[in-house]
Structure 1
């Protein structure tokens, strides 16, 4: 501190006192220089610093607004996505329910179709059995008739003599003649 007052006092003794000059005593001049520099910086830098701070403030506010807008948009997209998810889940549940009911319907259709097919096969089997029974009955009848005919022919041939044979032929010829006259 003594140096500071000495430096001011020494200015009065110098012959060029009151004029501008450089003081090379660093300890004496440093607080004065600093106060002058700080004063100049405050005076001239106040506007620049204020502008820089205002610009920074505006950028921060703009970033906050943009973030809010993005958050709002993201929230809206999230709500839409949640709504779509709910809709898709409902559709999936509906498809699942419809799928189960469709499976049940197909199952019953298959059961009914199989039942009808079995019923048709049973009817076809019964018809085949009746047909085969009728064919067997017809074969038996034919065989019995053939045996009866052979027996009757055998009996006729053994009992038939020439006179009876001629009488039968002439009777049949007479019947054919009468039939010819009736139709003719």
Structure 2
């Protein structure tokens, strides 16, 4: 524990910029503390993350199913529209002499509106999927960050006692004072 405190105190006594060196003292570099914190985060965060991802996966799958149902409805509508188109074509044969060009125009408008509807539904499905995926990623990121922060704060609070806390504050004040003297 003395090495950890000494490493904080020695931060204020580093040589000025331009020099470079390696600190080979494993206790002063906090590698053990970092590995313990990462191990705890991985051990406890894995289940929560898996549950979050499974829930998000189910929501995305439900959204995809809903989109597929909408697509099925659109295909059904397309079939109805095609049946109507066949009917219009039969009427066009009957009225070819009197109004062939107007019926053709109606047929093209009907086909174009159907394809536009299908494109809109397909775009809506893709946008919904992308939105849900992005939202899931953002929620997982926030959850992992919160858990990591809580774990780190818990570890830090459990390791610090009043004496070490006061020595750390004093060392940091000394370091800031030394930095201020260098900048002045």
TM-score (norm 2): 0.38
Structure with higher RCO (Cα < 8 A, 6+ apart)? 2
TM-score (norm 1): 0.38
